[in-house]
């Protein structure tokens, strides 16, 4: 495995001779490719096993977990393979594994161990996201690790299930577990299980979830040992390195495709959970030279006063996601992706919080603006390859209560604005219902939600005229209405409603920002009205705003209105038949709207992405007919459209 006398990073993989490849990786190209594919199969097989057998809704319905494979300490723990699952975890698991194992001591590990850690500052993410590490030994030698990071439904703290942006320090946040053994010699470590179950709620679900995670770690170990026994340790370690080098090569080439230069942008989130006196802004400066880049976040706002912060590792993940998305979307995401990227991130910002007061929980709300900032910064450098911004904030809804028989229930990330639109690209219009760029999770089925908790999902639909106009249209904002059938308490966390996150690019228009409202039964009672919450604008005047920039009288979305921040009411206590309405931010458009084919605009009017009025106002297209009563009878008035577009072009 020696590389003495060779500066391998100056030689592209495709330029290596067979002899050089063998010298570098202790195997041939074909075997290295087979083993790399095998590793990717293993992590996906582990995730399939966990998904199929998980008990809690956050794993079973949301895919809130990820699996990775990493090399041994003497190789500096290279993460060679990651699963096609929750991306928010993947960039943290590399360093999280290294930090956890180094602190525990790799010499203290042995076959049959499972090591865990959930500290956001050591391992990234939040305390519910426990890192489960299984060391793999072959011929008495520590040769690899299989790792699962999986969200545990609850880890204690002042909020059931934890999802809240109002917790003020790590002590309110939940149980923090430093590196410790969960299994030794494949036997449970009782003291560790007792520590968790003495501090967490819903342990009847946590226990089978943990057992399922353990079995899938053993599965990953078994599958990898099959490959190691067949091809040998040296070939396996060579393939581990090769997998990382492939990703490093691809990212380097992606960077080289950009013009050298310095690119800057700002982004941010609305406020923290104390008041709206501070808007948290990140500053992003990208210096790109050849195949290398430095991304500097110096000057970003100091850490927030409540649990909306991200850790250093969460920000690192967001950097990797943004660059993979923009310039290297085709090769695997692993340790190699970061090899030629330097990240400058001072401690104590809301992107790099420190304990005890820089509490980390709603970390994606702080880290996802990093993705948008990089999209902004590189827009001109990318040219036609630029990508519009997505909906940017999960607007997590967390609720809990007690059933008629006294059984407690909880819901997380199921009934808020957790799914929404992407931004448009040169390839076409954006999807309107998916996950934020840095997530990659499932959408819980309505039937599953309603079977678990006392709620009815009344509506999931698109809001017309919200998607950013462009030659290619941004995805529409998503409206979700949920009817709560019993007494409940709720935490709502929309942190990006002051301004749109769905930036437009290449002449496209930004998508509209969203908002959140609650309707008590006194304001609108679905049972008495025997109808869904209406869609007309007049209904909002009867609501209580939760978040958004709203007209003071009508309480409808209005960019010139008054801002309502999510923690004006930290906890919402509702009676039966209360309704929450969420409208997500919309995605950004790509290209000049008046260059969009009028027939495509007509089709959007037919499909109710755009109204007749919006077609005229935003695209300069005159559509006649009624999209509701006669959607197939719509007609484009070509002469009026030409006049309208000439008028729009003349006012620019």
Q: Which of 235, 231, 228, 229 is nearest to 26 (CA)?
A: 235
Rounded Cα gap, residues 585 and 465, in angstroms: 12
* Residues contacting residue 101 through CB under 8 Å, at least 6 positions apart: 73, 77, 109, 115, 133, 135, 145, 179
Rounded Cα–Cα distance for residues 134 and 144 (Å): 9
At residue 126, does pLDDT exceed 70? yes
Percent of all residues in the chain with a pLDDT value above 70, rounded to a whole number: 98
Q: Which CATH number fits domain 19-248: 2.60.40, 3.30.450, 3.30.1490, 3.30.160?
A: 3.30.450
Q: Average pLDDT for residues 598-608, to the nearest whole number?
A: 98
Is the distance from CB of 292 to CB of 306 less than 8 angstroms? no
What's the angle, vertex CA 575, arms to CA 574 and CA 578, rounded to 5? 75
228-233 long-range contacts (CB < 8 A, ≥24 apart) are 228/136, 228/138, 228/143, 228/144, 229/138, 231/27, 231/31, 231/34, 231/35, 233/138, 233/139, 233/141, 233/143
Q: Quick one: pLDDT band at residue 9, thresholds 50, 70, 90?
A: low
Confidence of residue 652 (pLDDT cuts 50, 70, 90): confident
Tell me if residue 223 falls in helix, strand or coil. helix
pLDDT (0 to 100) of residue 6: 46
- Answer yes or no: is pLDDT of 160 > 50: yes
Distance CA 387, CA 518 (A): 33
Say if residue 210's pLDDT is above 90. Answer: yes
pLDDT in tens, 334-388: 999 999 999 999 999 999 999 999 999 999 999 999 999 999 999 999 999 999 9
Interval 618-646: pLDDT, tens: 999 999 999 999 999 999 999 999 999 99
Mean pLDDT, range 84-92, rounded to an integer: 94
CA distance 134 to 425: 41
Residue 5 confidence (pLDDT): 38
According to DSSP, the β-strands at 292-296 and 341-344 are: parallel
Tokens read off for 399? 């609720």
Task: Dump strand ranges (E) for 557-610.
Answer: 562-564, 572-574, 578-583
pLDDT value of residue 4: 39
Is the pLDDT reported for residue 189 higher than 60? Answer: yes
Query: Is the pLDDT reported for residue 181 higher than 90?
Result: yes
Sort residue 112 into left (φ over 0), alpha (ψ -120 to 50) or beta. Answer: left
User: What is the rounded average pLDDT of the residues 412-419?
Assistant: 95
Separation of alpha carbons 594 and 591, rounded Å: 9
Tally Cβ neighbours within 10 Å of residue 631. Answer: 14
**What tens digit of pLDDT does each residue of 214-271 get?**
999 999 999 999 999 999 999 999 999 999 999 999 999 999 999 999 999 999 999 9
Cis peptide before 356 (omega within 30 of 0): yes
Cβ distance 239 to 35 under 8 Å?
Answer: yes
d(CA 609, CA 631): 13
In terms of Cα–Cα distance, which of 269, 254, 264, 308 is closest to 286? Answer: 264
The answer to whether residue 280 scores a pLDDT higher than 80 is yes
pLDDT of amino acid 11: 75
Output the pLDDT for position 7.
55
Is a pLDDT exceeding 70 seen at residue 8? no
pTM, two decimals, is 0.96
Instruction: State the helix-helix crossing angle for 87-104 and 363-377, rounded to 10 degrees.
Output: 120
CA 532 to chain centre: 31
- Stretch 514-533: mean pLDDT, rounded? 95
Averaged pLDDT score across all residues of the chain: 96
**Domain ranges, ordered by start, for the chain:** 19-248, 386-589, 593-650
| Residue 475: DSSP 8-state | P
DSSP state of 349: B
Q: What is the pLDDT of residue 12?
A: 82
Residues 6+ apart with CB under 8 A from 543: 517, 518, 519, 523, 555, 581
- CA–CA distances in Å: residue 358 to residues 4, 91, 394: 44, 21, 21
């Amino acid at each position: 495995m020696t590389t003495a006398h060779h500066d391998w990073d100056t030689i592209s993989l495709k330029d290596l001779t067979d002899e050089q490849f063998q010298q570098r990786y202790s195997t041939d190209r074909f075997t290295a490719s087979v083993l790399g594919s095998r590793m990717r199969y293993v992590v996906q097989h582990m995730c399939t096993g966990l998904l199929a057998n998980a008990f809690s809704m956050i794993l079973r319905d949301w895919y809130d977990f990820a699996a990775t494979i990493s090399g041994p300490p003497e190789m500096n723990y290279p993460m060679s393979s990651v699963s096609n699952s929750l991306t928010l975890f993947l960039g943290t698991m590399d360093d999280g594994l290294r930090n956890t194992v180094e602190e525990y001591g790799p010499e203290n590990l042995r076959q049959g161990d499972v090591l865990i850690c959930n500290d956001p500052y050591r391992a990234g993410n939040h305390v519910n996201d426990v890192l489960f590490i299984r060391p793999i030994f072959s011929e008495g030698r520590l040769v690899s690790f299989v790792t699962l990071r999986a969200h545990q439904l609850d880890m204690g703290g002042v909020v059931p299930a934890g999802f809240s942006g109002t917790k003020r320090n790590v002590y309110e946040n939940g149980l923090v577990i430093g590196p410790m053994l969960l299994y030794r010699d494949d036997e449970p470590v009782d003291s560790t299980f007792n520590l968790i179950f003495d501090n967490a709620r819903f342990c009847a679900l946590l226990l089978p979830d943990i057992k399922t995670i353990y079995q899938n770690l053993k599965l990953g170990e078994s599958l990898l040992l099959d490959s190691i026994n067949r091809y040998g340790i040296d070939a396996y370690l060579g393939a581990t390195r090769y997998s990382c080098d492939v990703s490093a090569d691809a990212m380097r080439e992606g960077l080289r495709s950009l013009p050298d230069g310095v690119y800057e942008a700002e982004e941010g989130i609305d406020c923290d959970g104390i008041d709206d006196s501070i808007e948290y802004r990140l500053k992003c400066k990208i210096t790109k030279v050849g195949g290398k880049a430095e991304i500097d976040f110096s000057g970003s706002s100091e850490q927030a006063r409540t649990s909306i912060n991200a850790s250093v590792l969460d920000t690192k993940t967001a950097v990797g996601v943004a660059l993979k998305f923009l310039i290297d979307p085709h090769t695997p995401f692993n340790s190699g992706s970061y090899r030629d990227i330097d990240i400058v991130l001072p401690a104590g910002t809301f992107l790099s919080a420190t304990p005890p007061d820089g509490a980390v929980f709603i970390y994606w709300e702080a880290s996802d603006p990093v993705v948008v900032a990089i999209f902004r910064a590189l827009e001109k450098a990318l040219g036609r390859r630029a990508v519009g911004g997505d909906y940017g904030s999960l607007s997590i809804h967390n609720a809990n209560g007690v059933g008629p028989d006294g059984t407690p229930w909880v819901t997380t990330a199921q009934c808020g604005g957790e799914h929404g639109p992407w931004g448009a690209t040169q390839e076409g219009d954006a999807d309107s219902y998916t996950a934020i760029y840095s997530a990659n999770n499932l959408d819980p089925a309505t039937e599953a939600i309603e079977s678990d908790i006392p709620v009815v999902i009344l509506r999931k639909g698109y809001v017309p005229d919200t998607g950013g106009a462009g030659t290619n249209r941004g995805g529409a904002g998503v409206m979700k209405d949920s009817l709560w059938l019993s007494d409940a308490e709720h935490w709502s966390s929309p942190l990006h409603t002051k301004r749109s996150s769905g930036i437009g690019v290449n002449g496209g228009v930004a998508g509209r920002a969203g908002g959140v409202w609650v309707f008590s039964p006194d304001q609108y009672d679905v049972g008495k009205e025997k109808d869904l919450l209406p869609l007309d604008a007049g209904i909002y005047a009867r609501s209580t705003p939760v978040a958004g920039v709203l007209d003071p009288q009508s309480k409808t979305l209005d960019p010139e209105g008054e801002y309502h921040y999510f923690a004006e009411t930290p906890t919402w206590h509702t009676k039966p038949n209360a309704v929450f309405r969420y409208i997500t931010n919309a995605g950004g458009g790509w290209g000049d709207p008046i260059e969009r084919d009028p027939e495509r605009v007509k089709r959007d009017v037919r499909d109710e992405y755009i109204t007749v009025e919006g077609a005229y106002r935003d695209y300069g297209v005159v559509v006649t007919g009624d999209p509701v009563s006669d959607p197939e009878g719509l007609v484009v008035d070509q002469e009026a459209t030409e006049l309208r577009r000439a008028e729009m072009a003349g006012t620019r």
